[in-house]
């Protein structure tokens, strides 16, 4: 009996350890909410869900900047004068995932809006002429788990409006 119990405990411990290691190695993924993407006068506004966001603020900043640069390159291919106005990043939860296949309903029966999910983790927006911050920079804001601003800073941009690490 003791032998079976110890073998069972060892097996369960190994399974638990493997599942913990697998959970720790999940890749951060970005998924654009295509239904929420809007364009006005060649300026693009994106809402993006982030699966498995990193705990490190520095790593998250770098990943958000990389995502911005990738989307910026795609937008600029669409023609002169096209640019990204802002990208809002939300943690992917059951609440935010609803908007992958559904539009917001601000005045309808559900009054279901993305901001009600309390899952915003960051915001990126290039500074334009007339903005209080210097042109050639990009405003990046990160929010903590309570929705409070945890970081606000201007990141340098190159001539193609890509964020420079």
pTM of the complete model: 0.79
| Of 70-74, 107-111, 132-136, highest mean pLDDT | 70-74
pLDDT classification of 37: cutoffs 50, 70, 90:
confident
Per DSSP, the residues of the chain read -HHHHHHHHHHHHHHHHHHHHHHHTPPPEEEE-TTT-EEETTEEEEEEEEES--S-HHHHHHHHHHHHHHHHHHHHHT-TT-EEEEEEEEE--HHHHGGGT----SSSSS---GGGG--EEEEEEE--TTSSSPTTEEEEEEE-TTS-EEEEEEEEB-TTSPBP-
Find tokens 């943690």 and name the residue. Answer: 91
Parallel, antiparallel or unpaired: strands 83-91 and 120-126? antiparallel
Assess whether pLDDT exceeds 80 at residue 98.
Answer: yes
Assess whether pLDDT exceeds 90 at residue 2.
Answer: no
- How far apart CA 7 and CA 28 sit, in angstroms, is 36
Assess whether pLDDT exceeds 80 at residue 84.
Answer: yes
Q: Which of 81, 67, 71, 77 shows the shortest CA–CA distance to 128?
A: 81
pLDDT classification of 129: cutoffs 50, 70, 90:
low
pLDDT classification of 131: cutoffs 50, 70, 90:
low
């Amino acid at each position: 009996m003791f032998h079976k119990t110890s073998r069972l405990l060892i097996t369960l411990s190994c399974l638990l350890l493997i599942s913990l290691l697998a959970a720790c190695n999940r890749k951060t993924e970005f998924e654009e909410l295509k239904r929420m993407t809007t364009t006005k006068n060649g300026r693009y506004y994106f809402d993006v869900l982030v699966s498995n966001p990193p705990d490190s603020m520095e790593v998250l900043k770098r990943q958000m900047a990389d995502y911005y640069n990738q989307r910026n390159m795609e937008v600029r291919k669409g023609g002169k004068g096209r640019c990204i106005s802002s990208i809002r990043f939300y943690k992917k939860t059951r609440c935010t995932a609803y908007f992958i296949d559904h539009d917001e309903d601000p005045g309808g029966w559900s009054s279901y809006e993305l901001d009600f999910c309390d899952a915003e983790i960051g915001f990126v927006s290039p500074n334009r002429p007339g903005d209080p911050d210097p042109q050639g920079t990009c405003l990046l804001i990160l929010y903590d788990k309570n929705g409070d601003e945890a970081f606000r800073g201007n990141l340098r941009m190159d001539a193609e409006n890509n964020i420079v690490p």
